[in-house]
Amino acid sequence: MSTYDFEPNPDDYGPEPAHIANPSKFDKLASQMSDCPYCGKPSKLVGGNVIYPHRPDLAGKWFWHCSPCDAYVGCHPTTTGKKPLGRLANAELRAAKMKAHAAIDPYWREGRLSRHAVYANLAVLMNLQKREAHIGMFDVEQCRKAIQLGTNALLWD
């Protein structure tokens, strides 16, 4: 495992174009976030100190958290802190999302394509709406598909 696997991905805390373009979607998601998708019990809004006790830099972030399932999702940083960035993710899904970021981020980090273009390509290849083509929204199976596309160099155009 690289150190990457242990770090919260900065992209999980940054604004996504889709979030800005469609904030009502996140209002809707926030209203649906009270129940954990794994156990069905209410999740709790907690500070970053609960999720990442060794990362004081994240103490000011907010997360929806289900302690028994070890499932959580960060909140959008530009709001009062209640809008989740995606679905509540357990350890398996978090690992899958990190691998998906590792497979996809180089496409736009290298600068040949814009981030928008990479996600637009991802949307087409995964048969998703553009607003759905966001790793924070993916389930494990969608992450696997995205990793496959990314590692096979299929996102260039």
Which spans of this chain sit near Zn ion (rule: CB under 5 A)? Answer: 36, 38-39, 66, 69
Tell me how far apart the alpha carbons of residues 23 and 19 are, in angstroms, rounded to a whole number: 5
Tell me how far apart the alpha carbons of residues 83 and 101 are, in angstroms, rounded to a whole number: 21
Q: Which is nearer to Zn ion, 69 or 122 (CB)?
A: 69
Q: Which is nearer to Zn ion, 36 or 122 (CB)?
A: 36
- Shortest reach from residue 91's CB to Zn ion, in Å: 12
Q: Which is nearer to Zn ion, 7 or 139 (CB)?
A: 139
Q: Which is nearer to Zn ion, 88 or 149 (CB)?
A: 88
- Shortest reach from residue 51's CB to Zn ion, in Å: 14
- Shortest reach from residue 92's CB to Zn ion, in Å: 13
- Shortest reach from residue 8's CB to Zn ion, in Å: 20
What beta strand segments (E) does 42-140 contain?
44-47, 62-66, 71-74
Tell me how far apart the alpha carbons of residues 64 and 51 are, in angstroms, rounded to a whole number: 10
CA-closest candidate to residue 70, choices 50, 47, 98: 50
Q: Compute the C-alpha angle 70/77/101, nearest 5°.
A: 60
